[in-house]
Structure formats: structure tokens, C-alpha cells
């Protein structure tokens, strides 16, 4: 695809979005209730898929149009800057989807179209009690049965959308207890089976967006494996790159839209204060945008980005928190106590931004990765480095 073709596609998308603005108007309204938000997400996924806009960059084997994933990224950004919330479905699918395509192409061809069109919502099950950022300590087990399938038992926690999702991309231990990262396997598990119990977890905002999921002798067919048996660590490391790629770009686009909204809503604030707060937020966003664009280009060229994505993660959490802190400083005090959906929406976003430096590898973990694997600093001891 040439630069001209990309420009024409993006122009066509903007025209289609403009022509459908009345049809989609209700999707630009904030939805405080999680159920309504996910319903809006599914509706927008359907519109994007029918128009072909979310099929760019995916292989034809799963219903895509091919081309670079960067086209999708630009479409997501234009969507956010036009006042639409980027569909929640995509924040999971853009992380796990590329790994499923690469490591389980037949499974991707069968399952991905329903996820891409918003018919199904997926979630990812990595974190466990006492095994948050340390995936090698996972204790959920997948034991091979005589018929070749697996019996999964264990517990996952902090699973986004887990109480409402249709399927989960699960990382489980298939090796011995002390096999660490060498004994893990990844698989796609249906969440409507016997033996699965889901308990919602409320965020500080009160929204039950997270969950813990219990598995008791849940049967999973061998065709649901993503990658090789005991090869789950390789898939997980591949997958984490995309969490810093398209996912990070979508978060950047959403956060840029938030800053633009702050500028529209703010009033009668001292110029010096506004300039300082907005300037710091803008610079953080600019750094994130430049870094994420570079990572996307490297991923599109099939380069392994590896430990350097820890820099992306730190820039992402910093930018989100600076922009949402700006909302508290510059917007009306009603944001703190108001009953309007727009006020509740800002509070939800601010609370969620606090988690940005925890989920997907805490800030301290990212600092350690950069120190050990990029800078090559001496190992940390009880006295520090």
C-alpha cells in the first residue's frame, strides 16, 4: 500500500464517520454504567467492521485486508479525536490478537472474525494472587487428559472485563511446579463452561471492571492451544510487545482526546497556571506519541522490540496521569462531586489513570528491566545498586 492509498483510506474513513454522525450520535455520549459502555463498544465495533475500517492490517485469513497495522492506528486516533470512545473490545484484542494470529493461525481464522466484529468480548488471564508481574510464578494448572485435551484448575485475578467476557486468553502451567517460565502454555478458553466462577472486583470508582475467575477441572480442547505446549512464555513475551504497540497508541489517542476536551471545557483559570499544567501534559503526550510511533514502525517491520518497550510503558503511565491530573486542576469543581454523566466520566478516567503505573508490569518492574537489560547496571542488592 502506497502513502497515497493510506491517505485515501483515512480520507474515506473521515467521510464515512461524518456521514454516520447522526446514526452514531448516542455513542459520543458518556456511559457511566459498564454494561452500557460495553454495549456501545460492541455497536461501534460492528460499524467499524462492516465498513472495513478495523480490518486493515489483519491478514486475509481472518477476514482482514492486509496492509500495515499503522492504518488501523490512525483510524483509531481519528475516531477518538472525533469524540468517540475507542471500543473497549479493542483494548484486549489489539494485545492478544496478533499473538493468536502468529502462534495459532487456524484458531485465529476460526475465532477472530467474531471478536473483530464485536460479537464476542475477549479478556486475558495472566495475573494471579501472588503472581502479578512475575508470570513465571503462575500456579493455575492445565493437566493433559488421555484424549489430548486439558483440565484447567486455578485462579486468575485483576482480569479486565472478566465478568462479562465470552472467552479468555489464559496462561497456565503445564510443566512441573518448579519449571518457572519453561513450563507455561497459552490457550483460548470459553467462559460459559461448567467449572468456571466469576466474581467482579470494583475499582476505586465503583465500576466493576475487573474480576477474579476460578477454574475447577475446566476442559479445554488441544485445538485451543496458542503456540506449543510449554511454549507459553515465548507467546507471552511476543504478546507484551503489542501491549506497548497498538495498545499504547490507542491509549495515547484517548489521552490526547482527553486533553483536547479539557481545553474546550476549562474556563477562568489563571493563564500562568493553565499554561504550566497544559504544557507539562502536552510534552508528556508528545514524548509518548514519538516513542510509540517508533515502536509501531519496528513491530511493522517484524523487529523484536523486547526490553525497550519498558520505556514505552513508563511514558504511557506518565502521560495519562499528567493529563488526568490536569482535568482536576483546570476543570470545574463539579467534576469532583457532580452527578452528571460527564463528571462521573472524568472521575472514572482519573481513577483508572492511577492504575496505569501498575497494570501490565508495575513502574518499579519497568525501572528494574531498564536498569538490568538496557543500561546493564549492577544487580540490585539489599543495599541498592
Closest CA to 249 of 84, 83, 384, 72: 72
Select which of 77, 120, 212, 243 is catalytic.
243
Q: Could you tell me the CA-to-CA distances from 326 to 134, 270, 280 in Å, in that order?
A: 33, 13, 9
User: Rounded distance, CA 94 to CA 89, Å?
Assistant: 9
User: Rounded distance, CA 125 to CA 167, Å?
Assistant: 10
Beta carbons of 181 and 233 less than 8 angstroms apart: yes
Q: What is the DSSP letter of 177?
A: T
User: Rounded distance, CA 113 to CA 111, Å?
Assistant: 6
> Is 243 an active-site residue?
yes
User: Rounded distance, CA 45 to CA 36, Å?
Assistant: 14
Helices 309-330 and 341-355, axial angle in degrees (round to 10): 150
Cell numbers linked to 348: 472514572
User: Rounded distance, CA 265 to CA 328, Å?
Assistant: 12
Q: Which residues are catalytic?
A: 243
Amino acid at each position: 500500500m502506497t502513502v497515497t492509498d493510506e491517505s485515501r483510506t483515512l480520507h474515506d474513513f473521515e467521510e464515512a464517520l461524518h456521514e454516520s454522525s447522526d446514526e452514531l450520535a448516542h455513542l459520543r455520549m458518556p456511559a457511566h454504567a459498564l454494561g452500557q459502555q460495553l454495549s456501545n463498544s460492541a455497536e461501534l465495533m460492528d460499524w467499524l467492521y462492516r465498513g472495513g475500517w478495523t480490518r486493515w492490517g489483519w491478514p486475509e485469513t481472518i477476514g482482514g485486508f492486509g496492509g500495515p497495522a499503522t492504518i488501523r492506528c490512525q483510524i483509531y486516533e481519528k475516531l477518538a479525536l472525533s469524540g468517540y470512545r475507542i471500543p473497549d473490545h479493542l483494548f484486549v484484542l489489539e494485545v492478544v490478537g496478533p499473538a493468536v494470529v502468529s502462534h495459532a493461525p487456524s484458531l485465529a481464522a476460526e475465532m477472530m472474525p467474531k471478536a473483530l466484529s464485536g460479537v464476542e468480548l475477549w479478556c486475558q488471564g495472566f495475573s494471579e494472587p501472588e503472581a502479578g508481574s512475575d508470570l513465571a510464578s503462575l500456579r493455575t494448572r492445565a493437566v493433559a487428559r488421555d484424549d489430548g485435551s486439558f483440565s484447567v484448575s486455578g485462579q486468575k485475578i485483576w482480569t479486565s472485563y472478566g465478568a462479562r467476557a465470552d472467552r479468555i486468553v489464559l496462561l497456565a502451567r503445564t510443566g512441573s511446579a518448579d519449571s518457572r517460565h519453561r513450563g507455561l502454555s497459552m490457550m483460548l478458553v470459553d467462559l460459559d463452561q461448567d467449572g468456571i466462577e466469576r466474581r467482579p472486583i470494583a475499582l476505586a470508582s465503583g465500576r466493576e471492571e475487573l474480576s477474579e475467575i476460578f477454574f475447577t477441572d475446566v476442559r479445554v480442547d488441544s485445538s485451543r492451544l496458542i503456540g506449543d505446549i510449554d511454549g507459553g512464555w515465548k507467546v507471552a513475551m511476543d504478546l507484551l510487545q503489542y501491549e506497548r504497540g497498538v495498545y499504547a497508541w490507542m491509549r495515547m489517542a484517548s489521552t490526547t482526546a482527553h486533553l483536547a476536551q479539557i481545553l474546550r471545557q476549562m474556563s477562568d483559570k489563571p493563564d500562568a497556571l493553565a499554561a504550566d499544567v497544559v504544557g507539562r501534559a502536552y510534552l508528556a503526550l508528545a514524548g509518548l506519541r514519538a516513542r510509540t510511533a517508533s515502536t509501531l514502525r519496528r513491530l511493522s517491520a517484524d523487529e523484536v522490540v523486547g526490553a525497550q518497550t519498558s520505556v514505552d510503558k513508563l511514558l504511557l503511565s506518565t502521560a495519562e496521569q499528567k493529563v488526568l491530573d490536569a482535568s482536576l486542576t483546570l476543570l470545574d469543581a463539579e467534576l469532583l462531586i457532580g452527578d452528571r454523566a460527564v463528571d462521573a466520566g472524568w472521575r472514572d478516567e482519573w481513577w483508572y489513570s492511577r492504575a496505569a503505573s501498575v497494570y501490565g508490569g508495575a513502574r518499579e518492574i519497568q525501572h528494574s528491566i531498564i536498569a538490568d537489560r538496557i543500561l546493564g547496571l549492577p544487580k540490585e542488592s539489599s543495599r541498592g545498586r
